[in-house]
Structure 1
């Protein structure tokens, strides 16, 4: 990897590049440059669009002329990327589906979808390193760091627009599996509770049910019952931060090993199952293919730890 871009670049924005924020565009043009540096050169006016200063949230239009200044990347940044090569290579094994428009991943638990907040590595940075020739790779939606399962990535700007429109019109069906405390009542099929996001002084995000929050809805269905827990299918109608986790807690059934909204006593009851991570998995996703219009349904298998946990719970449930 080169450690600097020696000359000013002037880039004309194509129709395929239009519609994205300037900061996201610069991250694809200045690979390896820290996000903090990109924001700094935008704030200082070193990046110009049509010879004018812009803000990081500026959305590019077709025909815009973007001035990108020469940027020197410290050698230690290259070393940081090199240290992540094994993680990048490992992502290949998690790819469920790929074509010219989409890449769909079974995201492992514990991996953030993007870097930032002290994290140098995320799924999207890893995929860009894994597919260096891909001109465009952007997340269609997000999953919490500790949530595993289906993650959709667009390989074309037109695909991203189509899939975002499906999300906006609630045309995309997402189904999660969650292991929750106690016996979920079969008559509780929908949780509608407004959610308000709070940022603590530490920078941590906590979401609470609050009448001043945004309208939020999750549908629940019992999949399997155990002595002290229930496996439920959760299908969010809206897409709020931590929505399933907070709605499960609000219903009186927090999710196993949820470090923000969970119940430690419940987690202790699961000690013999080998579970050490949040039991929330994006199991399936249904949407219209942005090119063919055909209905696509992708399923992501549970990881070894979640499968083992369920096996142990079933074993305990059987009469001796």
Structure 2
């Protein structure tokens, strides 16, 4: 049974940390091999589960020292049918992997909730295609149908909510939200933006948030920005805009490089963790509704410690 699905604590005034860029952290800092940039296959081996367990524990410890809540995000960004098929998973094996991902997080919550509270468990959903460069755009109904299988699996677990990461266009984001509504789960939509603060399909961030709210009757619990450096979106945020009040979370990239540059880079650009923390402190000061703070590509536990130090 869900612990917080009926009343998400991050909608209050408290601060919640979350993890960094799981895939880049695992690959570049922990030596993991992630075909198709997918972390969920690690759940199929003892070694992989130990690696994920150690990863989460390091980040939870930051929240414990900082005295904040924590959002545990499942390693299932690629765990939808198209990506899983490329990795040899059928529908049953994929559903099992999604359930395993949540079971790992609920076990960690049970172990740490006496020291870190609240701990919210989120089922992560990623885009059907390339979040950086969407090519075959789905209709609203097609996106709703595609993402329903993964979200329905999450609804059968103790996951408190669904978080759709690196959404690149309105129809897919709204389709995820409606699939979550169909399953009776709260949902958070995280858009990715380019260096100009616009979505990869050139939609303005505010317009995208307003459009998803209109298509879903405002169903998302809140919105986030992820997979972009703070300098890419800070200038687009208007504290007086109604849509900006819907943004409650950030999972930013460490690097100032564009998505195209990151895709073609042979090395990991971890940026400056101290500056990263300072920028989040400034954003939190300017936008007091920001309650969920973590990292995306290139970030690791140093960046989350820096955020905690500048809250």
TM-score > 0.5 by shorter chain: no
Q: TM-score, length-normalised on structure 2?
A: 0.28
Q: Which has the higher contact order (CA 8 A, sep 6+)?
A: 2
- Larger helix share, 1 or 2: 2
Q: TM-score, length-normalised on structure 1?
A: 0.28
Larger radius of gyration: 1
